[in-house]
Structure 1
Amino acid sequence: MANVTNIPTVLREGAGLVMHTGGCHCGAVRFEVWSSPDLHVFNCNCSICTKKQNLHFIIPKSQFKLLQGSENLTTYTFNTHTAKHTFCKTCGVQSFYIPRSNPDGYGIAPHCLDPGTVCSVKVEDFCGQNWEESMEKHQTIRSMSKNVAE
């Protein structure tokens, strides 16, 4: 897992990023992410996102830090095996994962963030049932896992 401290604080704060913390239901898995306080969340209708109600926002790997619980995580993959659906072995909650759309980043579940750092949430529907076509049409999703300085 990447270490968020690799990004200079001045770049994080200059880009309007705030540190959010969060974790799974039982508390075994804890993490921090640097992201905007105004979240751009995807509501995907692919088979797994539909079953899990997987709303998520995307960040670069460098803006994620696992604080505890690596030994409590397990991973599920299917189809292309690009997405890595990580979840807590104890409570079953997926707080974050590596999305197929952005294998160089993380999808973070906004409902797993601790209260107090989110100002607003904009939800965008994404048609994962027609994944390839949707990815071709979407103009910005791939850039969401790029560092601010890139």
Structure 2
Amino acid sequence: MDSDLVVHNGGCHCRSVRWQIRSPPSVVAWQCNCTDCSMRGNTSFSVPSERFELLGDSKQFLTTYTFGTHTAKHTFCKVCGITSFYIPRSNPDGVAITFRCVDPGTLTHLEIKHFDGRNWEKLVSSDWHCIVFTYQRLIV
């Protein structure tokens, strides 16, 4: 329900990349063990792409890394190297937000759960609609 959503601002360390999202004040963040997330130490929560807005001239400071299927878009700041958000392979219509990159003051509760990103395809049905439905249940 949109009335339960609040505005969260955030971005990278050097503040060249800034964004705004709408999500509940209480979120579940997923600590992923895929090769990329585990090496970066990333823990994130997802929002639908229509609730994400890149602010100002942030786009010029972004670069993107892809690998494998090139579905996931791992964005990071060209200046400081921080990945404050990315497009996950398991939900290419959403935006994964690195919870540590949300400005203080608007997240009132955070629960961290484990997400088996190395084996997520094996854990869900081979039917793509089931994959999307399962992952959307994880989105705030």
Normalised TM-score (structure 1): 0.83
The 1:145/1:122 distance shift into structure 2, 3 A limit, reads closer
Q: Measure how far apart 1:31 and its partner are.
A: 0.3
Q: In the alignment, residue 12 of structure 2 is paired with which amino acid?
A: C
Residue in 2 that maps onto 1:53? 41
Instruction: State the percentage of identical aligned residues.
Output: 47
Match of 2:20 among 32, 36, 41: 32
Q: In the alignment, residue 115 of structure 1 is paired with which amino acid?
A: P
Residue in 2 that maps onto 1:134? 123
Q: Provide the alpha-carbon RMSD of the alignment.
A: 1.9
Residue in 2 that maps onto 1:6? none
Q: In the alignment, residue 90 of structure 2 is paired with which amino acid?
A: S
Normalised TM-score (structure 2): 0.88
Task: Point out 4+ residue stretches in structure 1 off by more than 6 angstroms.
Answer: none
Q: Note the alpha carbon deviations across 1:49-87, whole angstroms, 9 max, x for none.
A: 100111110100000000031000000000111100000
Q: Measure how far apart 1:144 and its partner are.
A: 5.0
Q: Measure how far apart 1:129 and its partner are.
A: 1.6
Q: Note the alpha carbon deviations across 1:71-111, whole angstroms, 9 max, x for none.
A: 00000000111100000000000000000111001000110
8 Å Cα contact 1:60/1:144 also seen in 2:
no
- Where structure 1 has 5 or more consecutive residues not aligned to the other structure, the ranges are 1-10
Provide the rounded CA distance (Å) in 2 between the counterparts of 1:55 and 1:145. 14
- Where structure 2 has 5 or more consecutive residues not aligned to the other structure, the ranges are none
The 1:41/1:119 distance shift into structure 2, 3 A limit, reads same
